[in-house]
A and B are shown apart, each in its own frame.
Chain A
Amino acid sequence: MHELSVTQSILEIALRHAEQADAKRIVRLNLVIGELSGIIDDSVQFYWDMVSSGTIAEGAKLHFERVPAGLCCLACEHTFPLNGRNYVCPECGGERVVAAGGDDFRLDSIEVE
């Protein structure tokens, strides 16, 4: 639902860095999206063409690096993916686990000409 404003933020950040680098055109944006960031990359892609139109980022390719959310067992330190059913360690059956990673949502780099 809020991916429009988020996509506008991505564009603003990219344009600012492109200007600092004296770039004429942005051809690619490398984004990192964690599973727990709450952002749907398909929606970002959907709005991208609309918000980038008429800017030096028009036509730039969005590359998403998806970072899965993991859980880490406090008993045996086994790390396993979030499965949405329970948070029990599949290795040792431990129930004391903590979330590990997947919160990120950032623009890592842009590629410019």
Chain B
Amino acid sequence: MPEQVPVVERIMSANDQLASSNRARLDEAGVFAINVMASPGAGKTSLITRTVEALRDELRIAGVDGDIATTLDADRIAALGVPAVQINTGGSCHLDAAMVQSALPQLPLDALDLLIVENVGNLVCPASFRLGAHRSVLIASVPEGDDKPYKYPVMYRGVDALVLNKMDVLPAFDFDVDYFRKGVEPLNPGLAFFSLSCKTGEGLDDWLNWLRSEVKGYVSGGSGQDTRD
């Protein structure tokens, strides 16, 4: 007769342990990190370049870019004069904690305040892999449609901030912002929400102020309790 051996272990625990070690390394150097996730084309790199341009005089920023191939995104970040490391996942659909771990030694952590990690464009897999960042940010965009929180609940469930990008094209789409937000609230009550346009710059200030205050809160003690990473 087979004998039952209790295990009760989370399957993602190996990745989670590496994520915790990334977090410890970041905390040791005093670097606040965000994990930026979205579907392809939602505006991850656009929001990051806008953010770097706005904050590079007040914060020391670096970027880690995950993509299946090319260094196009890291090149865009590096062009702004900040350190950027490209991770090519070689077909993998998400960043995992081990990939971020390998990128950290390539950055001058002791001379940084903010690390922006750009995940692979994907609304499914990145949700399952913690990286060790202090906050997770999801970017949605108007052309994707207002039903995405209903179709990809896992992704919307664990993030700390939600950015709705491309508000400048709202008149051209049947996008009901109220329906969209009602799909997010039950999954993630009270999360920070910003509607903006990276193209026109409208609404960016609220996002930048949130990020400033998160970095400031981190520097002045404790990383707080984030929901995912």
User: A residues near B, CB below 8 A?
Assistant: 1-2, 5-6, 9-10, 12-14, 17-18, 20-21, 23, 27-28, 31, 36-39, 69, 71, 82, 84-87, 95-99, 103, 105-113
Contact = CB atoms under 8 A, between A and B. Distances in A.
A85 B150 contact: yes
A interface, over-half SS: mixed
A-B pairs with lowest CB-CB distance, top 10: A111-B2, A1-B93, A38-B154, A97-B186, A87-B186, A107-B7, A21-B5, A38-B128, A106-B10, A2-B125
B7 A37 contact: no
Contacts of B151: 84
Contacts of B124: 1, 38
B128 A37 contact: yes
25 contacts: A2-B128, A6-B11, A13-B11, A27-B2, A31-B11, A36-B153, A36-B154, A37-B128, A38-B125, A38-B128, A69-B153, A71-B186, A84-B151, A87-B182, A98-B186, A98-B189, A105-B10, A105-B12, A106-B9, A108-B6, A108-B7, A111-B2, A111-B3, A112-B2, A112-B5
Contacts of A95: 182
Contact of A109 (B4, B127, B129, B189): B4
Interface in B88-130: 92-94, 96, 122, 124-125, 127-129
B36 to A, nearest CB: 18
B55 interface: no
B78 interface: no
B37 to A, nearest CB: 12
How many B residues are at the interface, by size bracket?
35 or more
Given A38-B124, A99-B153, A108-B7, 7 more contacts: A1-B92, A9-B12, A9-B14, A27-B2, A36-B153, A36-B154, A108-B8
B31 to A, nearest CB: 27
Contacts of B157: 36, 99, 103
A99 B14 CA distance: 26
Contacts of B127: 38
Nearest to B6: A109
Contacts of B9: 13, 17, 106-107
A13 B9 CA distance: 8
Contacts of B6: 108-109
B143 interface: no
Report which residue of A1, A27, A69 has the largest number of chain B beta carbons within 10 angstroms of its beta carbon.
Answer: A1
A111 B4 contact: yes
B203 interface: no
Contacts of A99: 153, 157, 186-187
A15 to B, nearest CB: 11
A39 B129 CA distance: 12
Contacts of B8: 106-109
Nearest to A105: B11
A65 to B, nearest CB: 13
Contacts of A86: 150, 182-183
Contact of B11 (A21, A85, A87, A107): A107
